[in-house]
């Protein structure tokens, strides 16, 4: 699997034009969701390279990351005359880049695609690393493939239209990257003013965050070992997210990850001697910005069952990525049902 060329853009129009020109193609398709069609497409629609682009639009939010939406994209590609030499540009958040990447990777056994992530979450997480897919059977990202975009073009121009909740959603993944890297990066993240963000400074933090993920993915592209470091907060987080979807009360991915970080740092203290002062510092930041997780003890069994279906598991063990300290990564850590319930108690009741 070839690596993506990741571009931290200083000139969005020129970088998109260069990316489209670099891949010889017969037809160009642009995938958006209903929100990015309205807010983001106007930023690039007047580029000469977009003059003949065929638009495909799906519903926004993770509820539309489905087989039905995937089928709609395939149908539009087929009816639009797409061939193996066509090119698709995915303009949107993580749902669009995940689903669009999967659609492109499987249509005609694979057509080239470019990711232009428009949310903070997709810039620092979903658009880099080659993971594509959809939700299925009530489970997050159950169906998908590893396949890198030709290019990933990251521009903070898009972030100015983000609301606070979606900014925070992406920031949770940046916190995770800080936790698995070094004290300096984590401290910069914990002291950044999210209420009145400096977008130039945020652009620097995004570049650092993307670099952390890129270095890990390059060493382990298909998640056999080190890449599991990126799952910190996600075993619990995906369970929280799946439960919320099941209840018809979806939460943003980054919020679930933030609450998952509380859970898994708590486990890290007990199982890997993670420093308690760092736990308190991170938990205080998350509770201040993300609020309380809407779970109670009546839902523990269901959350436990969701964790048992996590893709990272081996045999009957529920696998966690934990930390012995900042940057001290411990993959493939197991916890008993009792320990998992204690972890959920810490999240729900602030013990």
In the chain, what are the domain boundaries? 5-161, 164-349
Please tell me the predicted confidence (pLDDT) of residue 138. Answer: 84
> In whole angstroms, how far apart are CA 235 and each of 171, 185, 231, 286?
18, 23, 7, 17
Give average pLDDT by consecutive 10-residue segment, the chain, 351 residues.
Answer: 82 96 97 96 97 97 94 98 98 95 97 96 84 90 93 92 93 97 96 93 93 88 83 96 91 96 98 97 97 94 92 76 97 94 92 60
**Where are the alpha helices (H) located in the chain, listed in sequence order?**
12-22, 34-39, 67-79, 94-106, 120-121, 164-179, 183-191, 199-219, 234-246, 253-272, 276-290, 300-308, 337-349
92 HSE (CA, 13 A, CB side):
29
Q: How many CB atoms lie within 10 A of CB 172?
A: 28
Query: Distance (Å, rounded) from C-alpha 129 to C-alpha 121?
Result: 13
Structure tokens at 115: 């990711």
Length reported for the chain: 351
Burial of 91 (0-12, 13-18, 19+ CB in 10 A): buried
The CATH topology of domain 164-349 is Dehydroquinate synthase-like, alpha domain (1.20.1090)
> In whole angstroms, how far apart are CA 51 and each of 17, 59, 90?
11, 24, 16
Paired residues of 139 in beta bridges: 136
Please tell me the predicted confidence (pLDDT) of residue 315. Answer: 58
Query: Distance (Å, rounded) from C-alpha 225 to C-alpha 223?
Result: 6
Query: Distance (Å, rounded) from C-alpha 205 to C-alpha 313?
Result: 32
The CATH number given to 5-161 is 3.40.50.1970
> Which residues, including other chains, have CB under 8 Å from residue 91's CB and lie 6 or more apart?
30, 31, 32, 36, 40, 41, 44, 116, 118
DSSP letter at 161 equals G
Phi, psi of 104 (to 5 degrees): -65, -40
Q: What is the largest CA-CA distance in the chain?
A: 60
> Which residues, including other chains, have CB under 8 Å from residue 160's CB and lie 6 or more apart?
199
DSSP assignment of 240-294 equals HHHHHHHTT----HHHHHHHHHHHHHHHHHHHH---HHHHHHHHHHHHHHH----
105 HSE (CA, 13 A, CB side):
21
8 Å CB contact between 87 and 52: no
Please tell me the predicted confidence (pLDDT) of residue 2. Answer: 67
């Amino acid at each position: 699997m070839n690596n993506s060329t990741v571009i931290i853009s200083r000139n969005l129009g020129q970088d998109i034009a260069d990316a489209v020109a670099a891949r010889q193609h017969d037809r160009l398709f642009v995938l958006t969701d209903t929100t990015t069609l309205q807010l983001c497409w106007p930023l690039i629609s007047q580029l000469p390279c977009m003059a003949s682009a065929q638009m495909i639009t799906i519903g926004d939010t993770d509820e539309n990351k489905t087989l039905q939406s995937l089928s709609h994209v395939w149908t539009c590609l087929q009816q639009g005359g797409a061939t193996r030499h066509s090119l698709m540009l995915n303009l949107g958040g993580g749902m669009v880049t995940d689903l669009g990447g999967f659609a492109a990777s499987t249509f005609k056994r694979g057509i080239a695609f470019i990711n232009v992530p428009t949310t903070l979450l997709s810039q620092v997480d979903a658009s880099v690393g080659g993971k594509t897919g959809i939700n299925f059977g009530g489970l997050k990202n159950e169906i998908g493939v590893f396949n890198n975009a030709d290019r990933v073009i990251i521009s903070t121009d898009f972030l100015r239209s983000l609301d606070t909740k979606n900014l925070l959603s992406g920031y949770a993944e940046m916190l995770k990257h800080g936790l698995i890297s070094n004290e300096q990066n984590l401290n910069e993240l914990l002291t950044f003013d999210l209420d009145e963000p400096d977008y130039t400074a945020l652009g620097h933090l995004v570049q650092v965050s993307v670099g952390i993920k890129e270095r890990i993915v390059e060493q382990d592209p298909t998640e056999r070992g080190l890449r599991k470091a990126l799952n910190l907060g996600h075993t619990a987080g995906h369970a929280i997210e799946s439960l919320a979807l099941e209840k018809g009360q979806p939460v943003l991915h980054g919020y679930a990850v933030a609450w998952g970080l509380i859970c898994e740092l708590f486990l890290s203290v007990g199982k890997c001697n993670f420093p308690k002062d760092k736990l308190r510092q991170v938990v205080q930041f998350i509770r201040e910005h993300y609020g309380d997780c809407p779970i109670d003890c009546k839902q523990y069994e269901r959350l436990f069952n969701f964790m048992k279906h996590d893709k990272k598991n081996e045999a009957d063990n529920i696998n966690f990525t934990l930390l012995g300290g900042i940057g001290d990564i411990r993959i493939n850590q197991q916890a008993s049902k009792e320990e998992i319930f204690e972890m959920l108690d810490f999240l729900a009741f602030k013990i």
